[in-house]
Amino acid sequence: MLTREEDVLQAAASWRQAGRGVALATVVETWGSAPRPVGSHLAIDEDGNFLGSVSGGCVEGAVVAEAAEVIADGSPRLLEFGVANETAWQVGLSCGGRIAVYVEKVS
């Protein structure tokens, strides 16, 4: 069962209110096929816990790793992921395509 976007945003707010460092990743653009639409969110806390989805596979692992840096230094990042159709399954973009994900610290 997919988590509702509202649940992801509420979790990010709740984690922040509890004093945890939190980052929010948002799909801001897609080209071609993409597993998640623009506006999809992934909330990540300072311990690496997360809720939601921006893609799947290795992409989400990379987003979680970048989120730790965003939490630490406060600087947002725009991440772009793309892959040729031949290697798409290996990195979790099952239909090829590209996505852009904006990662920001929740204050």
Domain locations along the chain = 5-105
105 closest CA partner among 73, 60, 61: 73
**Per-residue pLDDT averaged across 82-102, rounded?**
67
pLDDT tens digits, residue range 60-86? 999 999 999 999 999 999 999 876 555
Question: Burial, 25: exposed, middle or buried (Cβ in 10 Å; 0-12, 13-18, 19+)?
Answer: buried
Note the pTM of the prediction, 2 decimals. 0.86
Mean per-residue pLDDT for 39-66? Answer: 92
pLDDT, greater one: 100 or 85: 100
